[in-house]
Amino acid sequence: MAFHHKILGIVTFLYLFLFLIHIIYFAVKKEKIIAFIWLVLYGTLGLHTVGLVFRWVESYQLGIGHAPLSNFYESLVFYPWCISIILVVMKQRLKYPAITLCCTLISLFLMGYASISPSVEKNIQPLVPALQSNWLHIHVLTCFLAYASFVVSFVCGLLYMFTWKSVVPPRETLDEINYSSVIVGFPMLSAGIFTGAVWAHYAWGSYWSWDPKETWSLITWIVYAVFLHARLVRGWKGKKIAILSIIGFASVIFTYFGVNFVLSGLHSYAT
C-alpha cells in the first residue's frame, strides 16, 4: 500500500468525521460547532490536497509520472476534492449546515467507493498515448469543478423537497444557492466541453465525434441551459427549478458513471 493511499484513507475518515460533527450540530444546535465544521473542512481539504500531490509525486518515482487525473480511481478521489473546493469558494452563501452535510455525505460516498470497491484499480497506471497531453489537466479540472458545483445545486434542489424546519434552510435561500451554484457550474462545464473539444481535435483528429461521453456532456449542458433560461427569462422559481436541478444532476451522474459502465466509446479510459 503506497503512502498516498494511507493519507487518502485518513481523508476518508475525516469526511466521516465531518458528517458526524454535522449530526452533533443538529442534536445540540450550538453555533460554535459551525465554525468547527469549517475548520475541519479546511483541514480535510488540505490533507486531501497532500494526498493527491503524493500520488502525483509517487507516479514520478515509478517512472510513469503524470497528474492523478487519468483513471476511474483517480477521478473518484478527485471529485470530492473539487466538491470541497466549491464549498470553500461558496462559503459566504453556505451558512446552513444542511447543505454542507449532504455534500460531505456525497464526498464520503465517493471516497469510500474508491477505496472499497474491488473493481476499481487503485494503483498508479502509466498514461496511454492519447492522455499524454497538457489538455488533460485543464479538461479534467474544469469538468470536475462543474460536476462539483452541480452537487451543490442538486443538494439544494433535493432539500427543497423537504420541509423540516429545524434542519432544512428556508426555501428562498435554497433557491438562491441553487442558482448561484449553477452560475459557477455552467461556465465550468462549458469550459470543460471546449477544452475537451480542442484536445480531441489534436488527439483524435476531430473536435466533436458524438462519442457517448461528449454527447452526454452536451445533454447535461442543455439541461442547465434550460435551467438558466427558465429562471432568467421565464421567471421560474422554487419547485420547478428544484426539479430541473435534480434532472441536471441525474444527467451529470450519467455523464460521469453511466457512460463508462453502460455505453462504450473513446472515453473508455475511466473504467
**Positions that interact with another protein (CB under 8 A):** 64, 125-126, 128-130, 132-133, 183, 186-187, 190-191, 194, 197-198, 201-208, 210, 212, 215-216, 218-219, 222-223, 225-226, 229-230, 233-234, 259, 263
105 vs 219, beta carbon nearer another protein: 219
The C-alpha atoms of residue 225 and residue 211 are separated, in whole angstroms, by 21
Report the Cα 224 to chain-centroid distance in Å. Answer: 16
**The Cα angle at residue 250 between residues 82 and 142, in degrees rounded to 5:** 30
Residue 201: DSSP 8-state? H
Smallest separation, CB 58 to another protein (Å)? 16
Smallest separation, CB 24 to another protein (Å)? 31
Smallest separation, CB 159 to another protein (Å)? 21
Smallest separation, CB 208 to another protein (Å)? 7
162 vs 202, beta carbon nearer another protein: 202
Which SS3 state, helix, strand or coil, does residue 35 take?
Answer: helix
Smallest separation, CB 180 to another protein (Å)? 9
The C-alpha atoms of residue 222 and residue 133 are separated, in whole angstroms, by 28
24 vs 62, beta carbon nearer another protein: 62
34 vs 197, beta carbon nearer another protein: 197
Q: Residue 49 half-sphere exposure, CB side, CA atoms within 13 Å?
A: 9
Smallest separation, CB 220 to another protein (Å)? 9
54 vs 216, beta carbon nearer another protein: 216
51 vs 211, beta carbon nearer another protein: 211
The C-alpha atoms of residue 130 and residue 199 are separated, in whole angstroms, by 10
The C-alpha atoms of residue 11 and residue 43 are separated, in whole angstroms, by 9
Q: Are 208 and 266 in contact (CB under 8 A)?
A: no
